Structure 1
């Protein structure tokens, strides 16, 4: 069997990450990199990289449309590491052209987009994987096995947090950063639907005791805030309850004065797992015994995973599109639950060199929210405003409850 032929859309941003995925898989003898989309502006901006691609016999095209028209019969997998608003139209186009798809996280900007992608995948008979890197790691799958085998007992709660300051360069790097939508396409760009979308996705995956599935959020309550001059939120907290009765809690902000990597806690009747962002695990069992596992070596095997399925060496994808739907459902729920509230100007300070806006006390607020699994309003913070409890049962269109998403309070 010929090695799967991969194509990548784009040159900058996460296209570089996908190129590294494909290069590693190519070096492992699993794939061939045969095509790349570089729009005319990128062909000038990345002239050296484009020259290197051509020297490697990679065909370069000015658009996805042009590439699919000319080369779809020679492409097995189209990698789509583009902006959130482009995920649906590009993934659907590639599936309709008969290629498999690897789309970057988050899978889509709203629930109807991901459902349209699922329909296109099913109609095409092709695969669609999502680049949620944590699901390709052995530490994640170790925890999933414990959950499904019942070793942790009945799960009660899974909670995580993130303190990831982001500044001027982050919000000006493209035309959709910090945006709710671009023209008629939802983006809902926010820390829980971009930088730390994988934390939300992983919690949904690990809170489900069914192998190969993610939990379905049944209800959610959220609070959204911003300090940056953007449309969307840069700070969020939410509490969701899954169809299996597990509480999923997350607190995150791009306006902290410190960078603190996420720690996820999985709490069950028979054990408690502390999972560090880089993959270290510490488990305390109900009998008082403890186990530790060091972070895995190497990078997530994303392109390798897709290639091995196509080569018949794996039975299924580690992160098919189905496993991304729960995260998108949570995100839609947060924007239905809460308006986006402006954080008090007198608490903000801006680094003139980086444009990072820090809100006084935000680092402590995120850490305390995580420790107590409490929304900011439940901590008694004077600026906090409680969101509404939203049912996500049979939820299929954003927005449904809050038709004026994006209004200023």
Structure 2
């Protein structure tokens, strides 16, 4: 591919996770596979990142603007990466489609199921493709786990459990007006532990289970908050698809951080996938130990390859996110999370934590249970959880 034929890529949002996208874009641009069409963010890029942009062939002419609409109208890119707050995904995606651009939208793709269905329809009508930023979908270990499940290597799957215990400071929820909010200025945001930081957990579990894009997904929820101003920072969800339970139990209020795990409970085997480290372990029905191939395919590279040759399938196409969106929509409809009582919380170096939250979310994943179906280790919260 000549430099002139390489897709021109615009990035909307260069801070937060947008910086990861910027680094990835600069990496691919350095190979000549894409060109940087422009950057947009109300705050200018960090000086070191801007210096790297300017160092690219033609980089001195790359526009860096505060306004995304102005950038899209000026440069009309071939691909637009949308890495902005959740409630801005659909409006910006629409502007990019109007400019004739393909899309790479960060997860979750939209803030409601209605918005999701609108984006699916509008991208199809425009004849453009959309990749979604579920980076774990490029994991070789995840793909291997999905093949093992599909091939019956662990026998009939009784259920899939996911547990995650992460550390977030108060600043995580004060960094922006939309953080931890269900709505902002009347528009859905749906930003919570289940739908944003741990969105990969549910989406990856659904992928391992082989859930079809058009599957019916029933959702049960128990959502609580300690640090979050409105949405959940500690939650359990049970998704049921054709009788298969998938339980996701997570917290952002753990004393210590540990890699989240997807546990496949087979009648004759067991798999454990750390989707953030691409580590797969377990045993199959014949007693063989399982280990997953390391590494993952970057989603931008995959999108570029797909545009060059449509026979290369997208790893995280928009339609494949439909099962996950059933969870997000259930969270949106559930409304604000329930506060946990102060008696359940202790201070660790000034940070509110749930002392035994990591053990509880792990027990949920092992037993395929919600919080209220276990004996919560938060004595003062037992009544709240059972209510």
**1:164 aligned counterpart, secondary structure:** strand
1:373 aligns with 2:368: yes
Q: Which stretch of the first structure deviates more once superposed, 328-337 or 216-225?
A: 328-337
Distance 1:183 1:378, change over 3 A: same
**Is the contact between residue 94 and residue 101 of structure 1 (CA under 8 Å) also seen in structure 2?**
yes
**Is the contact between residue 221 and residue 334 of structure 1 (CA under 8 Å) also seen in structure 2?**
no
What residue in structure 1 maps to residue 239 of structure 2?
240
Q: Distance in 1 between matches of 2:357 and 2:229?
A: 18
Aligned residue pairs, count: 375
What residue in structure 1 maps to residue 302 of structure 2?
305
**Is the contact between residue 178 and residue 232 of structure 1 (CA under 8 Å) also seen in structure 2?**
yes
**2:258 aligned counterpart, secondary structure:** coil
**2:315 aligned counterpart, secondary structure:** coil
Q: Distance in 2 between matches of 1:179 and 1:337?
A: 13
RMSD, matched Cα: 2.3
Deviation at 1:351, TM superposition (A): 4.3
**Is the contact between residue 170 and residue 227 of structure 2 (CA under 8 Å) also seen in structure 1?**
no
Structure 2 segments unaligned to the other structure (5+ residues): none
1:109 to 111, 121, 143: 111
Q: Distance in 1 between matches of 2:40 and 2:81?
A: 10
Per-residue CA distance 1:263-309 (angstroms, 9 max, x = gap): 11123345321112311212312232323235x24x64111000000
1:139 to 135, 138, 141: 141
**Is the contact between residue 271 and residue 285 of structure 1 (CA under 8 Å) also seen in structure 2?**
yes
Deviation at 1:371, TM superposition (A): 2.1
Runs of 4+ in 1 over 6 A off after TM superposition: none
What residue in structure 1 maps to residue 278 of structure 2?
279
**2:253 aligned counterpart, secondary structure:** coil
Distance 1:139 1:229, change over 3 A: closer
**Is the contact between residue 11 and residue 37 of structure 1 (CA under 8 Å) also seen in structure 2?**
yes
Deviation at 1:31, TM superposition (A): 1.4
**1:259 aligned counterpart, secondary structure:** strand
Deviation at 1:254, TM superposition (A): 0.9
Q: Distance in 2 between matches of 1:192 and 1:112?
A: 19
Distance 1:230 1:51, change over 3 A: same
What residue in structure 2 maps to residue 202 of structure 1?
204
Deviation at 1:314, TM superposition (A): 4.7
**1:34 aligned counterpart, secondary structure:** strand
Q: Distance in 1 between matches of 2:225 and 2:91?
A: 29
Q: Distance in 2 between matches of 1:270 and 1:167?
A: 41
Q: Distance in 1 between matches of 2:119 and 2:345?
A: 40
Q: Distance in 1 between matches of 2:33 and 2:51?
A: 24
Q: Distance in 1 between matches of 2:68 and 2:336?
A: 36
**1:251 aligned counterpart, secondary structure:** strand
TM-score under structure 1 normalisation?
0.85
Q: Distance in 1 between matches of 2:335 and 2:86?
A: 21
Per-residue CA distance 1:36-78 (angstroms, 9 max, x = gap): 1132xx13x7456445534523222231211121111xx1100
Q: Which stretch of the first structure deviates more once superposed, 226-235 or 81-90?
A: 226-235
Q: Which stretch of the first structure deviates more once superposed, 229-238 or 260-269?
A: 260-269
What residue in structure 2 maps to residue 228 of structure 1?
227
After superposition, residues 14-93 of structure 1 pair within 5 angstroms as: 14-39=17-42, 42-43=43-44, 46=46, 49-50=49-50, 52-54=52-54, 56-57=59-60, 58-72=62-76, 75-93=77-95
2:13 to 10, 13, 19: 10
Deviation at 1:95, TM superposition (A): 1.4
Q: Distance in 1 between matches of 2:353 and 2:270?
A: 33
Q: Distance in 2 between matches of 1:154 and 1:334?
A: 29
Q: Distance in 2 between matches of 1:156 and 1:169?
A: 39
Distance 1:174 1:338, change over 3 A: closer
Distance 1:286 1:312, change over 3 A: same
